[in-house]
Chain A
Amino acid sequence: MAETKTITLELFRYHPETDSEPRFQSYEVPYDEDWVVLDAINWIKDYVDGSVTHRWSCRMGVCGSCGMMVNGEPKLTCAAFLKNYYPFPIKVEPLVNFPVERDLVVDMEGFMDKLQDVKPYIIRDDVNDTSEGEYLQTPAELAQYKQYSMCINCMLCYSACPVVGHEDDFLGPAALALGHRYNKDSRDQGQSERLEVMLRSEAMWGCTFVGECTVVCPKHVDPAGAIQQAKAMGAQEYFKRFVMPKGAGATKGAGA
């Protein structure tokens, strides 16, 4: 019988209660060309070292939990095949631009705050009674925002974006794309309210169109494109307010 092939995984380890600083630990993992990096980490946790801490759930690119840096690139580890790295070692680190909670797990709180800032839900001035039925939408109206609604909040774009790394006030690709998704939704009436947030100094304007967010996005959301469209919308709103300060319908819902 042929000798079992193996591949080396170098995992970022940090347990804040005992470690003064992070370190890397190497593990030899059986190599299977059908395996993804997440399978290898799960194997380590199950058979070698139960103290390895990481987040995962669906294993099929839907839940967005297993994002990590794989050889320096933000990736969903459930979609990063070992065969793309074999026979070289694979270095796995927590997503950059986030505080590390433990090993490969990052603190998502700042990200969740930013998501809430853009009010990612349909805002209506007049809410129809359910007996009146759904708010209907044409296929063309759906196409306006559908692509931006595919985000799974995996946060890869936050790790890829250099602006996120050095500007705390920047809302970041996923949150801005999500805000834009609702601004483009024909059923929504909260555009001014959302733009109120997005017009703040670095919230949206911090984006320098590096475009890496779109490159790493596993769901092809194109946050960079969404941000450019949102900027154009924001600039229109800015001039509208300049021409018609305080009212005349320009700031609908903004004071709410």
Chain B
Amino acid sequence: MSRGKSGRPTRPSGEAFWWALFSAGGVMAAIFVPAFILATGFLLPSGDPAAAAEGAQRLAALAGWWPVKLVLLGVITLSLFHCAHRIRHTLMDLGMRNLAGFLKLPCYGGALAGTVWLALVLWGI
């Protein structure tokens, strides 16, 4: 890494890219994911069981519609990258700063693997 007079790196880095994914994922994880969990995990099952079962079926059918698949892919993928970035920086805070570059592989690689798996699942619905 090239360093300037002050000893600090002189080149812009790709951190902006990972932070943008982290930031977008933060919005998803903080707003959309809790809303989905509230709707599908608490509100729907709390009513009449027969109506809940019917509701669940209709939701499953909705998830087969491709615009909904795209929304799910976006929300979950960005949340995964949010999580990956937070874990990487937490590990750095815990003393693994020298491994900052290497940590990208398991963290963002894990998020990418989750994205691929999710895409396959959605494809199969």
Contact = CB atoms under 8 A, between A and B. Distances in A.
A215 B125 CA distance: 49
- The residue in B1, B8, B23, B93 that gathers the most chain A C-beta atoms within 10 A of its C-beta is B8
A163 B93 contact: yes
A199 interface: yes
Interface in A154-192: 162-163, 166-169
A229 to B, nearest CB: 11
B12 to A, nearest CB: 4
B12 A238 contact: yes
B35 interface: no
Contacts of B92: 208
Contacts of A237: 16
Contacts of A232: 23
B interface, over-half SS: helix
A169 B90 contact: no
B30 to A, nearest CB: 13
B16 A238 contact: yes
A64 to B, nearest CB: 22
Contact of A235 (B9, B16, B93): B16
A228 to B, nearest CB: 9
Interface string A108-136: 00000110010000000000000000000
Contacts of B95: 166
A200 interface: yes
A201 B7 contact: no
Contacts of B8: 117, 168-169, 200, 203
B15 A166 contact: no
A interface, over-half SS: helix
Interface residues of A, number: 25
Nearest to A116: B6
Contacts of A163: 93
B63 to A, nearest CB: 31
B36 interface: no
A156 to B, nearest CB: 20
Given A208-B89, A232-B23, A117 B16 contact: no
Q: Shortest 3 CB-CB distances between A and B: which pairs?
A: A238-B16, A205-B15, A201-B13
Interface of A: 113-114, 117, 162-163, 166-169, 196, 199-203, 205, 208, 231-232, 234-235, 237-239, 241
Interface of B: 1, 6-13, 15-17, 19-20, 23, 89-90, 92-93, 95, 97
Given A201-B15, A235-B17, 20 more contacts: A114-B6, A168-B7, A168-B8, A169-B9, A196-B12, A199-B16, A200-B11, A200-B13, A201-B1, A201-B11, A201-B13, A203-B8, A203-B9, A231-B19, A231-B23, A235-B19, A238-B12, A238-B16, A238-B20, A239-B16
